[in-house]
Structures are given as C-alpha cells and as structure tokens.
A and B are shown apart, each in its own frame.
Chain A
Amino acid sequence: MPRFVRYLAPLVAFVALAGLLYKGLSLDPKLVPSPLIDKPAPAFSLPLLQHPDTQISDSNFRGEVTLFNVWATWCVACRQEHPLLMQLAKQGVRIYGLNYKDERAAAKRWLQMFGDPYLANAFDAEGRTGIDWGVYGTPETFVVDKKGVIRHKIIGPLTSDSIQHELLPLLKQLQEEDG
C-alpha cells in the first residue's frame, strides 16, 4: 500500500489547489461586499504625489461626493481604465487618487503622459493606507459620500458599461442626499 500512497502526491497537491480555487470563487471580489461598505472611510494622512511636503487626509473628502481611485503605474488594467477616468473628470466628477506602492517619478510621468484626472493624489509607497482600505488589487474605486462614508466599491477597471449603469446613477443619488 505505501507504494500506492506515494503516487497519490500529485492528486493531493491538485486537490489542495482546487480547494484554493474554490475559496477563490467564494471570495470573488465582485460578489462579496467589502466590510467597509457603509462604514466611515478609514483615516489616513499621506504626502501628496506632486508635493511631498504637503499632506492629504481623508478630511479632504468631506462635504462632497468623491471617488477614491487606487492605481499604480505597474498595473496594466489601470492603463485600460485611465481614459475613462479622464472622461469622468471632464464631466465634473470629483476624483482623488491613491497611488499605491509606486515610484513617485514613474507616477508623475504617467499623469503627464496620459493626463491627470485627479484633484490630488495621495502617495502610498508602502501600501499601509491600501491595507486599511482593504484594497484587493489595483485598480479599485471607492465611492465616498458627503459624510465621508464609503458607499460602494468597484474592483477591477471601470468600464463604460459599469460607469453608465452603476456609477453615474449612484453618484446622482448620493448628490441628492444631505451632506
């Protein structure tokens, strides 16, 4: 019997992998709402991407409906998403950025190259703030209401479809709420 057991090793490894994949399915970020939804946005204070000496904090979000977009220059999907953020900014949507685990020079160059849709960018080199906000991967976009409460989170790149049917209606509804 021990000989037989030895050759079970690949099967055991595969079953472990399958278990992980099953867990992955149930963890599907697009299905499970973040525990932070309807909670106040986690506090942070970080240097600005463009001006390292100036700090930006979550208090910047108060009073207006805001998008908080997590991005990085090493993230391929962020490039895909970027032009849509540019369009949103042109429509007057307030977008702040969290530049996540990135290099300052590369990030600045990116904004110069592809355009800058952000009111300001927090520079999170170590990814501490990202962890506090429960960032799963880049890009992610949080919708923060006038009271500074996270109301929605979109994981993965925005698409014209998700903007039309999901994001813009929600922003409109939140605009009508009291601050």
Chain B
Amino acid sequence: MIPELGHFALILALCMAIIQAIFPLVGSLNRTPDWVALARPVAWGQFVFLSLSFGILTHAFLVNDFSVLYVAQHGNTELPTIYKISAVWGAHEGSLLLWVLILSGWTVAVASLTRNLPDEVVARVLSVMGMISIGFLSFLLFTSNPFERLFPVPVQGGDLNPLLQDFGLAVHPPMLYMGYVGMSVAFSFAIAALIGGRLDSAWARWSRPWTLVAWVFLTIGITLGSWWAYYELGWGGWWFWDPVENASFMPWLAGTALIHSLAVTEKRGAFKRWTVLLALLAFSLSLLGTFLVRSGVLTSVHSFAADPARGLFILMFLLLVIGGSLFLYALRAPGISRGGGFANLSRESLLLGNNLLLLVITALVLLGTLAPLLYDAFQWGKISVGFPWFTSMFVMFTPPLIVLMGAAPLTRWKQQDPAALLRSLRLALGISVVAGLVMALPVREGSLSAGLAVALSVWLLTTLLTSLKQRLKNRPGIGGLLADIASRGGRSYYGMWVAHTGIAVFVIGVTFVTQYDIEKDVRMSPGQEIQLNDYRFRFDGAVPHKGPNYSAQIGTIRVFRDGREITVLHPEKRTYLVQSRPMTEAGIDAGFARDIYVSLGEPLDNGDWAVRLYYKPFVRWIWLGGILIAIGGLLAASDPRYRMRVLASLRGSRTATGTASAEVHA
C-alpha cells in the first residue's frame, strides 16, 4: 500500500508541474496576477509530493520491501544502512527520482530567495523549471516507474552494485545532480529573459549566484568522482575520459565559460547574446549527458541498463527543450542590443578569448565522446579516440587558457594600454620563465612538460599576487586585506583568487603525477621485500576475512623508508556474495607531496600474490585543486552585493505592498 502512495505522490507532483508550467507563464503574458501568484505555492506543492515519494522509496529499501521490483533488484537485507539509503539512487529509476527531487529543490529555492525580483520574471523562471520537471516526471512515470511491484515476492534482494558500495560513490551522484540540475536555473532565467525580451545586466546579476552555486556542486561532484575512481578501481588512475566522465565535464567547461561571461554582462552589459547562448548550452550539455548515460548509445563503465525506448524518450525531450530554446534564441537574438564596446586589448577581450578556448575544449571533448558513434554512423571505419588523443588535445589548449587567466585580472575593463600591462606583468613573467627552465633542466630529472606546468602554475600565482598588490595599494596590512574582503564585490574578487590558485595547484598535481609516478607489477611471496624509489615494501601475506555482504582476502604490506617503518597498508580483494563480483580495495598511504598506493592482483600459488605498487607524487594536489576551485566559487557566490540587493529591494517591495494596500483601503 505504501509504495502505491509513493507512485500516487509522483502523479500528483506531475499535475503540480503542469500547473506550474502553464499558468504563471500565461499569467505573466496576459497580466493575470492571480495566475502569476500561483507559481510559488505550486512549486512548493510539487516539492512536498516529490519528497514524500522519495521518502517512501527510501523507506522501502530500509525495511527490505522486496515486493517493489526496484528494491528487489538493488536492495539486500545484509546491506549496511548507509548503502541501503544510497541504493535508492544506485540505479536508473531511483537516480531519476533523485534528479527530479533535486530539480524541485532548486525550484523552491528560486521561489523563496527571489522575493526581490519582479513577480512576472520569477513566474516565468518557475514556469520553465516546471516544463523541465514535466519532461522528467513523465519519463519517470511512463518508462521507469520505481514503485513497480513484483510478485511472487523474493526473500532476498539482488544487492547494490558492489562498485557503488562506497562512501565516495554514495555522495557523488547527489553532488553531480545538484550541479547538472542547478544549471537549469541559469537556463530558466535565460529563457524567461528571452520570453520577456529583457536581457540586461540585472538579468546577469540575478543569474550569477545561482550559476556559481550550481557550478560549485558540479566541481565537487567531479572531484569526488575522480577521487573515488582513484582509490576504488585499483589501478591508480584518476580520470579515464570515459563517456560518462566527459558527460559531467562538458557542462562544467560550459559553466566555467558562463560564469565568466556573466561577469562581463553584469559589469559592462556586453556579451549578452553570447551569455544567453552559454546559459542554454550549459544546461543542454547536462541533458545530453543524461541521454548518453541512460540510452546505451555509448558503452561505458558507468552505464545504466540500456533501454532504447528510454533513449528515444530522452531524445524527444532533448529536441523539445534544446531545440525549442535555440529556436527562441534565434527569434530574439537579433533584437538584443550590443552593449558596451571594448578595445582589442581589454579585460573583455581576454575573457572572450578564454571563453572561446573553453568552448573549443568542450567541442573537442564532445567530438571525442561521440567519435565512435560518428565513425559508425558514417561508415568511416573504426578509430579509437582514446586516452592519448584527449590528453594531447588538452596539452594543446590548456596553456594558452592559463596564460590568459593570469593576465586578465591585471587588465582593465574597456581599454588597456599594452605598455602598462606589460610593465605590471614583467616580474611575474620573469619569475615563471625562470622557474619553468629550472624545472626543465635535465640535471634534476626534469622534463619539458614538468617545466611548462611549473611555469604556468607559477605564472598564475605570481600574476594573482601582483593583482592583489595593486588592489591593496591603498589598504595596507592584514587589516586592509580583511576590510577589502568584507567590501562590496570583495568576495567576488577573492573567490576568483582562491579558484585560480586551485587551478595552479591542480596543474602541478596532474603534471607531476603523470611525469614522475612509478609503478611496479610484481609477484610477491610472503616475507619478500621490494624496493621502489626510496621505499621498501614487505609483503606479509594475505588472510581471509568476512565482511557483512562480502568475503575478502586482506593483504598486509609494510612500507619502510631509511630503515624505518612508515606505514602498514591493507589492500583487499573482495568478492561480493550476491553478485559474485570481485572488487579491489587499494591500500593507500596519503601524503601532501606523495601517495603510496598498493593493490592486490590475482592470488598465485604458495600464498604468493600479484601485487601492484605505486609511488604517486603530488596526486592529492589534483583534488586539493578541485576543493580550492569549489571554495572560490562559494566565496564569490556569497558576495554581499547579491544579498544587499535582496535586502534593499525587500525593503522596497514592502513599501510597495504598503502603498498598494493603502490604495485598496483608500
């Protein structure tokens, strides 16, 4: 009975979404305030029913209700409680439910935090979000109902995919969905602005904090996914250019271009068409990612059960949403004013350059992801666009991106005198070239790529410091810095500062771990020792172990440096009982400047094991960079000027309401 309530709640949510999509929009066009006023309560109604539905599915997992097909497929009585909860979004149906719940969460967030905006703008934004919700809710109800019943009821469930029984992967999808779905807010603001024909810097200012927060979630989601792949898949990689990874990376790239372009539109009123297009693109790429993951068009480690009927449904939905929005863009774009002009050398032009580079990279990732499909469709024969292809594309386009990134904060809006720019960049340029050359020297086992990476990172850091120094010219000392952070627009600047530092840290991590990592595949007998770099590894055998829903062999490897034991690692080889799927759990000694990473291969005879040993310098910096980028984004989103406007206009709207009611009474 309870699961049917969950199903019913979904249907009611769909009804709410339909009302939310139609009435506020129509009301905003024919000026019917009652219809406009419907937007917020209906958004809340939808959220309540979706939460109820989600709660009921979670409950079914917690009480092992195997009469629900989805629970029977992915639940299990032996599953630890945390994974019973994460199993809710462990497969297609439930993850889609999480997706619409999060969409609804963003909708009510927009509904409650936009009291300062004109009502008809909010009504249109919520309408567009309602339309998106209709698409996903129908997809859920008509092709992927999570509450479908199963009879006869099995005594035990099919268990959650062992790859997903891990904390990192329990929280990875919600973060990523927060990012994907969050891009729908920028999208809806753009559509609302196109409908209303009002594309101005106010529109950019309203969109900015929402876009930043969504982008931060996307950053966290991608970073978590990379970290998970590193410790869970057992071969020490942190990114694989897998179609599903690319599906999350493309909206991130477009989102990065968007937050920079929004800055230009807000500050200078320029780039309006471009910014709108990017807002449409960022969310379109999120939708495309969904299509790629769920349609089975491309094979991937992450793929959900492929179903062509579902694929066709999403494709139709893509056509409606993306096609419709691009059509609206084509109709309205000619009427959008050009905005502030700028010289060939100005912050605008550098940001435009960066935007184009980011889009070129996005296009290349898209091309690489779809290459197998393209070649198949046009019968061009077969090629493998694999890891090396992506890497070389990246090595080609990232350096100019970083060069521009360093120079842009030191460049003036509108027009910059080249000689003055060169003067302020001189020192940073000198330091980074020297640092790069030193790193590339063969005496220090340097390499050209390491030299380039160090030069670029140092360039980023020194230009950031130069810009900070210029900024704090009139505010000396720590007190001046704190005052500057607290100032209007301060957090925007320092957010940029932290995020760009994150990029520098990330570049170092990626390059060093690619250039200097050492790996060794060896056969080890119990008691045997192996030297790797400065470290000595001793294998003390493996013993059987029984977990709640798996059996395992746990190895013991002691690591010595200069004769002193520095750590004991316990890599595991697990076999999950229900799905009889073997899994590796790497043993990792994490460090600021290096990781030591061991994983167990196959058991050989006489208690010997195939063992894989890694020394991974600076690998943590990859994720440290990701964390810094996310913190920077949050800092920028929390800038008081977004809130001050809220407060100011709250006061304003209260007065307006007061006047209105006074009129009524009069």
Residues of A within 8 A of B (CB): 3-4, 7-8, 10-11, 14-15, 18, 20-25, 27-31, 74, 76-77, 79-80, 83, 86-87, 101, 109, 112-115, 127, 130-131, 135-137, 155-157, 160
A-B contact pairs, 26 of them (CB 8 A): A4-B330, A7-B334, A10-B277, A10-B280, A10-B326, A11-B326, A24-B298, A25-B295, A25-B311, A30-B306, A76-B300, A77-B300, A77-B301, A83-B581, A101-B384, A109-B521, A112-B523, A112-B610, A113-B521, A113-B601, A114-B610, A115-B601, A115-B610, A130-B382, A131-B381, A136-B372
Report whether B297 and A21 are in contact in the complex, using a CB–CB cutoff of 8 Å.
yes
Report whether B284 and A113 are in contact in the complex, using a CB–CB cutoff of 8 Å.
no
In Å, the complex CA distance between A162 and B46 comes to 39
Report whether B582 and A83 are in contact in the complex, using a CB–CB cutoff of 8 Å.
yes
Report whether A115 and B329 are in contact in the complex, using a CB–CB cutoff of 8 Å.
no
Residues of B within 8 A of A (CB): 233, 235, 240, 242, 273, 277, 280-281, 284, 291, 295-301, 303, 306, 308, 311-312, 315, 318-319, 322-323, 326-327, 329-331, 333-334, 370, 372-374, 376-377, 381-382, 384, 386-387, 521, 523, 579-582, 601-602, 610, 612
In Å, the complex CA distance between A76 and B163 comes to 14
Neighbouring B residues of A4 by C-beta, 8 Å? 330-331, 334
Which of A4, A7, A127 counts the most chain B CB atoms within 10 A? A7
Report whether B291 and A113 are in contact in the complex, using a CB–CB cutoff of 8 Å.
no
A162 to chain B, nearest CB (A): 12
Neighbouring A residues of B273 by C-beta, 8 Å? 7
A21-B297, A109-B521, A112-B610 provided; 17 other pairs, C-beta below 8 A? A7-B329, A7-B334, A11-B329, A14-B326, A20-B373, A21-B315, A21-B318, A23-B377, A25-B295, A25-B297, A28-B308, A74-B384, A87-B580, A113-B602, A115-B601, A115-B610, A131-B382
Neighbouring B residues of A135 by C-beta, 8 Å? 382
In Å, the complex CA distance between A3 and B329 comes to 12
In Å, the complex CA distance between A30 and B601 comes to 31
B306, B370, B580: the one contacting A28 at CB < 8 Å is B306
A22, A137, A160: the one contacting B315 at CB < 8 Å is A22
Given A28-B308, A86-B602, A136-B372: A76 and B301 interface contact (C-beta under 8 Å): yes
A70 to chain B, nearest CB (A): 11
Neighbouring A residues of B377 by C-beta, 8 Å? 20, 23-24, 27
In Å, the complex CA distance between A3 and B335 comes to 10
In Å, the complex CA distance between A24 and B294 comes to 13
Residue of B at shortest CB range from A134?
A: B382
Given A8-B330, A136-B372: A80 and B319 interface contact (C-beta under 8 Å): no
Which of A27, A74, A113, A135 counts the most chain B CB atoms within 10 A? A113
Report whether A74 and B326 are in contact in the complex, using a CB–CB cutoff of 8 Å.
no
In Å, the complex CA distance between A160 and B581 comes to 8
B242, B382, B581, B602: the one contacting A114 at CB < 8 Å is B602
B297, B579, B612: the one contacting A24 at CB < 8 Å is B297
B196 to chain A, nearest CB (A): 18
B240, B284, B333, B521: the one contacting A14 at CB < 8 Å is B284
Residue of B at shortest CB range from A136?
A: B376
Given A3-B334, A131-B382: A160 and B322 interface contact (C-beta under 8 Å): no
Neighbouring A residues of B579 by C-beta, 8 Å? 160
Report whether A18 and B326 are in contact in the complex, using a CB–CB cutoff of 8 Å.
no
Neighbouring B residues of A136 by C-beta, 8 Å? 372, 376, 382
